[in-house]
Amino acid sequence: MSETRSISTGSGVIVAVLDSGSAPHPDIRRNLLAGSNQASPGKDGRTDNDGHGTRMAALIAAHGHGSNSGIQGIAPSAKILPVIVSSDGLGDSAIMAKGMAWAANHNANIINVSGAVGPGFALKDAVDDAIDKDIVVIAAVGNTAQDLIINHPAAFNGVLAVGATGRNGKYSDKSVKDEKVQICAPGVDIISAQPPRGYGIAAGTSDSTAIVSGAAALVRAKFPELSAKEVVHRLTATADDIGPPGRDDECGFGRLNIVKALTADVPPLEGGGESAGPAASSAAPSAPTTVRPQSAAPVADAEPAGNGSVLLFGGLAGVVAAAALVLVLVLRRRGRN
């Protein structure tokens, strides 16, 4: 991600992660705010009995540790606001709604939902309120192993609905197809932090969503004058069209291109509506879409990662990967420059 580090690191942006919480893993600890536990009121969000929330938080804003160890997320200077909406992997629409409302009232600039619950009127109202407060709401469309139709809150209007691409950079059949899908990001063979101090590899639209949330944090930091709708527009307008020409049910407007999202000349939305699709770019349409990872090796104090498959957060398939089309993070060898 060296191409983006000189442009934006997400500084000043708060990303709320509505999930299983986030443990104070060494690679995320400095960026971790107290948050809230909506599943067990009175506690904060800095615990994680499942591991899923920690993985999502690290994909978004891990900063590494020591002199040159650990992993870095997409936006390593962003802050994570962990909001626990489930501690057992079972989704509850009412609790998700409370978590959404809490995040919206506690300075979140972006809300990441790498999971799903039933629709629910309270959740719809909470999503609408967050959007009215100029918050970018980003949610996973769902994994085909669990879902036949798009998840909520991803199905709600105004939410940036995220699908997954595979190792080949094309649509992954693990990702639910739907006309509401707007963008895809890598979702297969994704390395991230695993509490308490380890690392794990997983797959699914949960990971794709966290990657897009990290990209949104970079955009909000780089272009603080943009509204939430304009941030979404910039992400979708600069996406690489990888399916049938135009918007499609697999990846919406296309595959996330972080470099273009930060550098392209994107005309503003007309009438304040949703993105109408890719925009003409004066910032070299051939801007690179592939960011190669540095040499990767387990950190010395890494611990084995569990499977962590849960209903709310979707199934996770563990397989080894060497590269992704958009670099999700950097796993750095201790002491290596």
How does pLDDT run along the chain (337 residues), one tens digit per residue?
667 889 999 999 999 999 999 999 999 999 999 999 999 988 999 999 999 999 999 999 999 998 889 999 999 999 999 999 997 777 799 999 999 999 999 999 999 999 999 999 999 999 999 999 999 999 999 999 877 789 999 999 999 999 999 999 999 999 999 999 999 999 999 999 999 999 999 999 999 999 999 999 999 999 999 999 999 999 999 999 998 899 999 999 999 999 999 999 999 997 766 665 555 433 333 333 322 222 223 333 443 333 322 234 433 322 222 223 333 344 443 333 3
172: DSSP letter: P
Q: CB-based burial of residue 159 (10 Å sphere; 0-12 exposed, 13-18 middle, 19+ buried)?
A: buried
The answer as to whether 324 is a domain residue is no
Q: Please report which helix (H) or strand (E) contains residue 190, including its range.
A: strand 190-194
Q: What is the CATH number of the domain that holds 253?
A: 3.40.50.200
The answer as to whether 225 is a domain residue is yes
The answer as to whether 195 is a domain residue is yes
- Closest to 160 measured CA to CA, from 233, 94, 103, 255: 233
Domain span holding position 142? 14-262
pTM of the entire predicted model: 0.84
Number of domains in the chain: 1
The answer as to whether 318 is a domain residue is no
Q: What is the DSSP string of 18-87?
A: EES-----TTTGGGB---EESSSTTS-S---SSSHHHHHHHHHH-EEETTTEEEE-SSTTSEEEEEES-S
The answer as to whether 92 is a domain residue is yes
The answer as to whether 98 is a domain residue is yes
The answer as to whether 337 is a domain residue is no
DSSP-assigned beta bridge partners for residue 186: 165
The answer as to whether 54 is a domain residue is yes
Positions marked active-site: 19, 52, 206
- Closest to 181 measured CA to CA, from 247, 280, 82: 247
Q: What is the DSSP string of 175-187?
A: BPP-TT--EEEE-
